[in-house]
Amino acid sequence: MVKENCGVVGIYSEGDVNVIPMVIDALRALQHRGQEAWGLAIPNKAPLKRLGLVSASSGEFKKISEEYASHSAIGHVRYSTVGKSDLESAQPLKVKDLCVAHNGTISNVEELSNLVGGCTFTPQNASDTLVAAQRLVSLITENGKLGNALSILKNEMVGSFCFTFLSDDDAVFAARDPKGFRPMVLGHKEQGNVHIVTSESSAISAIGAKLVRDVVPGELIKISKEGGFETEMFSDDTNRAHCSFEFTYFAQPSSKMEGTNIYLARKRIGQFLAKKYPIHDADVVIPVPDSARPAALGFAQELGIQFDEGLLKDRYSKKGPLRSFIEPHQSDRIEINRWIIPIREVIEDKHIIVIDDSLVRGTSSKAIIKALRRSGARKISMMVTYPPIKFPCYAGIDFPSQEELATFDGGKDLSEKEMIEKVRNDIGADFLGYNDAENLANAVGIPKDSMCFTCATGNYAPLGITPNFNKMKQMKSV
């Protein structure tokens, strides 16, 4: 099964402006959500797909803008979480007259594929998006309207989704799953009367548009020539499960999600973490670059300790600018860590508090602590802004199995204290402090019950599943 957590965009100009340059700019502003492939689609044409970063195709932008000129389009940046990074798996996908771009994960893909009649693909090798798109198209055929089809599909699917769709009869659609696991926002630009629906407001700013609002979980938006801007609800579920990991790690700091700016939220998370761990004998607080920087600043300011940059990423190396967690292969993650450069003059003989935004497999943390020791750190206290990750995510961020998580200890039932001690020992820190869900939610300013913390708690109720984690095989086939 191929799963994704990606970035999506749908743009429609009621003023008949060519939106392709805007789609490209928006995808560049979503690049942090997926770096393996990108693509765009316009009505009545096969989707355009490219491997790698959007900017790697900059020589083609003019030609693409001319050849694909359209006042309606959707786009996608992709991060695959299992294996294949090929062009075929890139999105948007086209099924009959509907192009689809998806951010999220559909975990019961085989079950769903059984509902798809007459499909021509092999379900085990098909992406979750393709299976969902096939099912959606057959539901539209049976029920007439996309909203009706989504109302049915949401009950059949386990997982999370933000979709943008484009139909050959020139309508752009966007839908957000009823729990709001993944983010989705709506923007507008006066010039050309341009509507944009996308994963993050960073993409709205990138095209010079204004953020209007979050797309409501369970909302379907349609923009077309005949109807203009239309909206309907395909779910009346009012329970929310916004992914807490977006706030600490995944989202772009300039973005605004659920009314909260990500940079300021991360700074507050650092402040709240400092209240939990008031370590006053440290000399300096440093971030693990790049996403932990605001939290480190907040932590340092709260305790009145000096903030500094003790670790830099080599931005000219091949892997340096990429984000280690979302690279699919372990060797690539190790490669990235080799390009984190410690600054001896900041570190030597000091008690360092190093702030990271998450501790997933522990590979990065171990490499960073080694680098700090090599640079003469006297004591290293590691603080993690996210609670201990103990369970796989089936709602869009891929932690493939418990066995690969740093918190896993051969299936032993460790107490919280024992588990933290195990991880501390593995990564080689002198002290390890994790955030907790309550503290994180308070810092973000969203009620804890309206956020998803499943990967920390193992409570899969928001997804409506009860996975059995006795064996790795079972974990991967929920």
Q: Measured between alpha carbons, how far is 395 from 332 in angstroms, rounded to an integer?
A: 24
Residue 26's closest CA among 86, 73, 88?
73
Q: How far is the CB of 4 from ligand SF4 (least distance, A)?
A: 13
Residue 145's closest CA among 47, 227, 74, 40?
227
Annotated binding site for Mg(2+): 291, 356-357
Q: How far is the CB of 385 from ligand SF4 (least distance, A)?
A: 13
Strand pairing report for 72-78 and 7-13: antiparallel
Q: How far is the CB of 248 from ligand SF4 (least distance, A)?
A: 9
Q: Which of 260/454 has CB closer to ligand SF4?
A: 454
Interacting residue with ligand SF4 among 25, 454, 467, 475 (CB under 6 A): 454
Strands of 296-435, DSSP E: 306-307, 311-313, 340-342, 351-356, 379-384, 431-434
Interacting residue with ligand SF4 among 245, 247, 272, 325 (CB under 6 A): 245
Q: Which of 26/452 has CB closer to ligand SF4?
A: 452
| Binding piece for ligand SF4, criterion CB under 6 A, among 65-73, 124-132, 243-251, 345-353 | 243-251
Q: How far is the CB of 436 from ligand SF4 (least distance, A)?
A: 14
Q: Are 24 and 90 in contact (CB under 8 A)?
A: no
Q: Which of 21/328 has CB closer to ligand SF4?
A: 328
- Residues 3 to 62 in contact with ligand SF4, rule: CB under 6 A: none
DSSP 393: -
User: Residue 410: CB partners within 8 Å, gap ≥ 6?
Assistant: none
- Residues 349 to 408 in contact with ligand SF4, rule: CB under 6 A: 393, 395-397
Go through the chain and tell me how many residues it has.
Answer: 478
Q: Are 182 and 243 in contact (CB under 8 A)?
A: yes
Q: How far is the CB of 330 from ligand SF4 (least distance, A)?
A: 19
Interacting residue with ligand SF4 among 13, 81, 244, 375 (CB under 6 A): 244
Determine if 269 is a binding residue for ligand SF4 (CB under 6 A): no
Interacting residue with ligand SF4 among 40, 131, 171, 243 (CB under 6 A): 243
Q: Which of 153/243 has CB closer to ligand SF4?
A: 243
Element (H, E) at 72: strand 72-78
- Residues paired with residue 90 on neighbouring β-strands, in sequence order: none
- Coil, strand or helix at 316: coil
Strand pairing report for 72-78 and 37-41: antiparallel
Q: Which residue among 6, 99, 119, 162 is the active-site one?
A: 6
Find the farthest-apart pair of alpha carbons in the chain and give their distance in angstroms, rounded.
Answer: 70
Annotated binding site: 243, 291, 356-357, 393, 452, 455
Q: Which of 195/390 has CB closer to ligand SF4?
A: 390
Determine if 257 is a binding residue for ligand SF4 (CB under 6 A): no
Q: How far is the CB of 473 from ligand SF4 (least distance, A)?
A: 20
Interacting residue with ligand SF4 among 38, 161, 181, 434 (CB under 6 A): 181
DSSP line for 209-252:
-EEEEEPPTTEEEEEETTTEEEEEES-------EEHHIIIIIS-
Determine if 452 is a binding residue for ligand SF4 (CB under 6 A): yes
Query: Is 6 one of the catalytic residues?
Result: yes
Q: Which of 367/393 has CB closer to ligand SF4?
A: 393
Q: Are 89 and 127 in contact (CB under 8 A)?
A: yes
Neighbouring CB atoms inside 10 A of 119's CB total 17
| Binding piece for ligand SF4, criterion CB under 6 A, among 70-78, 241-249, 276-284, 430-438 | 241-249
Q: Which of 154/370 has CB closer to ligand SF4?
A: 154
Neighbouring CB atoms inside 10 A of 118's CB total 6
Looking at beta carbons, which residue is closest to ligand SF4? 393
Q: Are 107 and 48 in contact (CB under 8 A)?
A: no
Q: How far is the CB of 353 from ligand SF4 (least distance, A)?
A: 25
- Residues 420 to 439 in contact with ligand SF4, rule: CB under 6 A: none
Q: Measured between alpha carbons, how far is 382 from 384 in angstroms, rounded to an integer?
A: 7
Omega before 290 within 30 of 0, i.e. cis: yes
List residues with catalytic annotation.
6
Q: Which residues bind ligand SF4 (CB under 6 A)?
A: 181, 243-245, 393, 395-397, 452-455
